[in-house]
């Protein structure tokens, strides 16, 4: 919504939208969530086509967009090698900590169990905080141990970092349909930045799969929300730059083309920052290659 300059006026805008949605509502039409702040005025609604057209014509509506959907490659989470490792020692109390905001973390993972602190399910439609697809657990392992390949080759995993987990993705790997992403991020940060956890570092390896600035002239609302929360809670947010498959080769000729075109292909429009990587205060991290050999993905295993 257009912000009218003050908090009371922003609340008035939300009330006007509520009155509009609640006037002769059809089945399923409703206000899902709302937020009024000093800078943003957001409303999440479920409406049908006819009312959506009317909604877009209201003067108080600044812009409308479909909720962003997190994207990641499920195959990557399934490529695990079977090998026995010594149980990592537990980190010392009062040491560094990180909270992974993702699909949850399997707290009983043999290599993470001793480093695991606490988990919460932030998504209101999901009661369990456990990871149901493996992405959050993979990200948690990277956040705790860093270079997994080095730990594997050394035959031992050890880290002073305590891992916390805030699950925000449901069983379909999507965000809660009934809550604004800002509120889901806010709840996750509020829980783990306060006592007894007092975590100051939050990792979000989540994002849309479309380069945001290639289609928009300003940062996304999700990114702007993260900037607001970073200031409000005085925390460090780590976000991923985004995903693309231009570095994935299906055969030798593809691999050769990648080598020859690198790094020029990173300037292609699809390689731009994906939402919410345009956040100004958060640290945006791109890919870190362990070698100069392109990733080889056999065509027979592609989905």
How many Cβ atoms are within 10 Å of 178's Cβ, its own excluded? Answer: 14
Residue 145 backbone phi and psi in degrees, to 5: -100, -15
The domain segmentation of the chain, as residue ranges, is 7-56, 74-301
Strand, coil or helix: what is 119?
Answer: strand
Q: What number is the average pLDDT over the span 6-15?
A: 91
Topology, domain 74-301 = Rossmann fold (3.40.50)
pLDDT in tens, 83-107: 677 889 999 989 999 999 999 999 9
pLDDT in tens, 170-197: 888 888 888 888 999 999 999 999 999 9
Measured distance CA(59)–CA(62) in Å, rounded: 8
Q: What number is the average pLDDT over the span 44-67?
A: 90
Tell me the H-state helices in the chain. 7-22, 49-56, 74-78, 135-145, 148-154, 181-193, 221-233, 252-261
Among the residue ranges 162-171, 202-211, 237-246, 284-293, the one predicted with the least confidence is: 284-293
Q: What angle do CA 150, 154, 160 make, to 5 degrees?
A: 70
More confident residue, 71 or 98: 98
User: Could you tell me the pTM of the whole model?
Assistant: 0.78
Nearest to 37 by CA among 5, 73, 66, 71: 5
């Amino acid at each position: 919504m257009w912000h009218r300059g003050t908090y009371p006026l922003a609340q008035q805008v939300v009330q006007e939208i509520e009155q509009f949605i609640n006037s002769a509502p059809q089945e399923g039409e409703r206000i899902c969530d709302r937020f009024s702040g000093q800078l943003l005025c957001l409303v999440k609604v479920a409406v049908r086509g006819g009312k959506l057209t009317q909604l877009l014509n209201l003067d108080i509506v600044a812009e409308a967009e479909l909720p962003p959907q997190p994207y990641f490659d499920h195959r990557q989470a399934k490529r695990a090698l079977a090998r026995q490792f010594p149980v990592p020692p537990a980190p010392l109390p009062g040491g560094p900590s990180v909270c992974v905001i993702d699909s949850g973390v399997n707290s009983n993972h043999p290599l993470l169990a001793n480093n695991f602190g606490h988990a919460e399910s932030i998504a209101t439609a999901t009661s369990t905080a456990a990871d149901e697809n493996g992405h959050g657990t993979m990200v948690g392992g990277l956040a705790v141990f860093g270079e997994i390949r080095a730990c594997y080759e050394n035959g031992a995993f050890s880290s002073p970092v305590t891992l916390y987990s805030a699950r925000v993705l449901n069983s379909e790997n999507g965000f809660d349909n009934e809550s604004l992403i800002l509120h889901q991020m806010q709840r996750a940060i509020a829980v783990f930045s306060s006592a007894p956890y007092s975590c100051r570092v939050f990792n979000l390896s989540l994002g849309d799969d479309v380069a945001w600035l290639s289609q928009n002239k300003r940062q996304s609302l999700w990114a702007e929300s993260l900037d607001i929360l970073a200031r409000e809670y005085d925390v460090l947010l780590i976000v991923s730059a985004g995903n693309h498959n231009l570095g994935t080769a299906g055969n030798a000729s593809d691999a050769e083309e990648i080598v020859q075109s690198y790094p020029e292909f990173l300037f292609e429009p699809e390689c731009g920052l994906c939402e919410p990587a345009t956040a100004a205060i958060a640290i945006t991290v791109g890919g870190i290659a362990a070698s100069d050999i392109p990733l080889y993905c056999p065509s027979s295993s592609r989905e």
